[in-house]
Amino acid sequence: MITNHHFFFMGRFPIGVVLDGRQVGNMSMAQFLLRTRAGVFIDEVDQFMSSAIDSCSSQIVLDSRRKSRDLPLIRLHDDVRGMPPSTVKELSPTLTHARYLTEFLLSAVSSRELNLRYYDGRSEAADHPQANSSMWHLAGSRDRRLICLLFPEENIPNEQEVPVELFAKLNAIHPPDPAEIGNESSELRTVQVDLEPHLLAVQDLMGRLLASRGTDLLSTVRTELHGVLENHIPDAHLRSEAIELLIVRVWLTELDRTLERLRDMTENLRSMGLSSAQDLARKLGPGIGSDVIRHGALGRAIYGYRITGLDDPDESAELTTQSLSGDPHTYTAQLGSIVSLVSAGVERPVLGLSATAYFPQAVREHIRSRVKWWMTDAAEASIRAKPHMLRNALNKPIQISGLPQHLKQHALTEMGRRLYDEIIHDELERLAEEDRDRAHDAVVLNSYEHCRYMAIGMYSSGKYQDGKHRLCVAVPPDKDRREELQRRIKLPPGIIELTPDEFEDFPKRGQVIIVPMARIARGLNIVIGIRSAITSVYLCTRPLALLTDPAEMYASVNAAGLNAAGSPSGSPVALLQRAREAAWGRLHLIMRSAPGFVNTHRDLQEEIVAGMIIDMIQLAGRARRGGTDMTLHLVDHAFQEDSWQSDLRTILRRIHDNWTPQVRQRMNDIYREALSTFLAYAGIRTTADVM
């Protein structure tokens, strides 16, 4: 039986089956395969785990202005009234509080009394209509800006992490939970702090707002906060901003805790056959292996929130939450043992195949299981990494990554002109004489939009006008998205557009394909016969993960906890506590870290670069089919820019220094030529005795 990654861990078997002499309905595909197959083979197992990380999230509409009462919280509220009095008494406070928090927040944002804004570090909120309320917001995602406003005397620059003491003070402002007084959770406490009198007054006002006792206190609390903070934030505009950020942070943190409590309660109601409780528990619960591994290293879910429909708030505004939970790393590594034992009652052999499933710093791809077998690519000099420094008309290096969005269009078109005139044209001419079947190049960027600007630049270059080569540009497979992109960024006549399904026809259509990294790194093999048709790959933007994305953040947090847990222990409770503390420490670090790749914490930089190297190795594999050699050209000056020790060479050296001798040997055994190429690029000797 053959299926894809996502359907394996998320799908349900579409028909009833007879197992062990009894009928079973709605069985998960994972359980069906583990119970009925002698073994499981997973191709691209690191991609399997990466997809599992993405799928550890679930979404639920908390409140909506649309004309519908089919909302989980409202349905459960209506159903609970018919339950026994003891159940109503137990559930009503939490459910009522959840409805108050969600309905009040949506109404306040819809009426512009509160705003969910996007912040880049300590800077003021940027005017990004599509990236403010409509993007995912976490309770602490604006902490850096808030801390800079509350403690201006600290003068924290964007290049510096927020001191842990200030982060702890901000956490301590949240009003104590009445149910936990005397037994407070340590999740948000990093160090013990004593709040100054004005911050204690802020804490008291926040508590009044959360428990309003039937009165809208938003305006009153806002006014009183101005009085409390006036001497500490003299500027009225900045004080207003700080007050809004405080209210939103406290509100979302309280909503996090309330939803977590509600999820536990609805789990207990599942057995009572209450459909609304079952629906809410399912939507708030983790999706990957939740019946096997309930939570990841954090011990609870992370919640993100967004509000859409604000162009017509009276009729369309909607508040949605996304929760991330589960343990995709352990689920993948223990698929044949723990997962199979719980799901099927037996262990099963599971063979995961991939060229890039071992790389300790790669939080989305590194499988925490022993490598049983490998086949090394040891063809000498088969992979080459070559840096370039293209310069613009002002003789400055052309850099794409790290530029503000409004400057990237011009930089990409300028890079396209220079890249084709100075490098690609002559290389293709040489290849056409040496090996015509391999006279094709791939130009790789981060998005379909970037691809079109690059194509426009190449088309306008002087040498392209001789008509010897044809450009092909990747376009999205989705028809609506493709047509919207074609309307917005029109290409010159003669440039050929290819959907991913048409990539294999590229050698017949053109000589240069411009394509996003996500589509080509693990995409179809572009071959003539059995040999790769592509000789050179030009990486024109630095591919980076965004730690503001919930799934990327969760991968880092969960991996940090598992790394801290280390080997099995005779004291499992202490081991789990160590993992939990490390996971929360990583979450705090991400929240405190300076914005942008250049200034972010070194550990996070190394995780990002490790994932990038895996993409590069996969990308190189596209051009190595049939034993051919290839050259990876690093074109974006961001790869070489070393003013803040954040260039690729420096970070690769740091990663290599952190490897134990055993890890170095294993990396060399597995990757050999691919690894030595990148280490040589970083100036690291790659002979076996120093690996």
User: Shortest CA distance to 313 belongs to which of 593, 72, 3, 105?
Assistant: 105
Number of neighbours of residue 436 by Cβ within 10 angstroms: 10
Three-class DSSP category at 22: strand
Q: How far from chain centre, in Å, is Cα 210?
A: 31
Question: What's the confidence (pLDDT) of residue 128?
Answer: 46
* CA dihedral sign, ordered 156, 158, 160, 163: positive
Give the tokens for residue 210: 């959360």
Give the tokens for residue 223: 């006014």
Question: What's the confidence (pLDDT) of residue 643?
Answer: 62
Task: Lay out the sheet containing 471-474: strands in order across.
Answer: 383-387, 630-634, 536-539, 441-445, 512-516, 471-474, 496-498
Residue ranges of the chain with pLDDT lower than 50?
Answer: 127-132, 188, 688-691
Contacts with 444 (C-beta within 8 Å, 6 or more apart), sequence order? 515, 516, 517, 520, 537, 538, 539, 540, 541, 619
Q: How many residues does the chain have?
A: 691
Q: How far from chain centre, in Å, is Cα 86?
A: 42
Q: How do strand 137-138 and strand 383-387 relate by DSSP bridges?
A: unpaired
Contacts with 99 (C-beta within 8 Å, 6 or more apart), sequence order? 63, 73, 74, 77
Quick: pLDDT tens for 276-323: 877 787 777 666 776 778 788 988 888 888 888 888 888 888 999 888
Contacts with 678 (C-beta within 8 Å, 6 or more apart), sequence order? 385, 613, 616, 652
Q: How far from chain centre, in Å, is Cα 223?
A: 38
The pTM (predicted TM-score) of the whole model is: 0.81
Reported as type and span, the H/E element at residue 352 is strand 350-353
Task: Considering only CA atoms, give the Rg of the chain.
Answer: 27
Give the tokens for residue 374: 């490998």
